[in-house]
Amino acid sequence: MAETAEYLKLTHEGALAALNAGTAKATAMEQPQCISVVDNGGHLLAFVRMDGAFHMSQETSLRKARTAACYADPTGGLAEGIDMKLAIGTDGQRINLFGGLPIIVNGHCIGGVGVGSGTGEQDREVAAAAIAAIPGSLSFD
């Protein structure tokens, strides 16, 4: 068994590319958004609250991004009841609202994008546009 392993890393340039793509999509949709981009450990790399976005969505966008990155799974798919138990068990850090997508490249989760301020479908659409800016990322369209 190896003591070390190589891994892919989301750079700040990649985070900014995702943020810019998400902002462009939200602008085209005429839906201001809060967009958070995190690395695979859930650490914030880039964030924007577009003019007109709901200010409390700043926190939910970050929690969506962290949840997607840490579990390598889109947010919003947990069964009712289980979602509340996990939210309580993680002191509110795991969130089950639509709009969080992991950034997966070559089978490795390198980060996540969380979007909030629109409907769940709008948030997810903006998140999908953001992760599409990362070359080789898995699509969740």
Domains of the chain: 12-131 (3.30.450.150)
pLDDT at residue 82, rounded to an integer: 85
pLDDT at residue 126, rounded to an integer: 98
pLDDT at residue 130, rounded to an integer: 98
pLDDT at residue 92, rounded to an integer: 82
| Low-confidence spans in the chain with pLDDT less than 70 | none
Q: Which helix (H) or strand (E) holds 35?
A: strand 34-39
Give the whole-angstrom CA distance, residue 81 versus residue 12.
36
> Could you tell me the pTM of the whole model?
0.95
The predicted-structure confidence for 120-140, as pLDDT tens digits, reads as follows 999 999 999 999 999 999 998
**Phi and psi at residue 116, in whole multiples of 5°?**
-150, 145
How many of the other CB atoms lie within 10 Å of CB of 122? 19
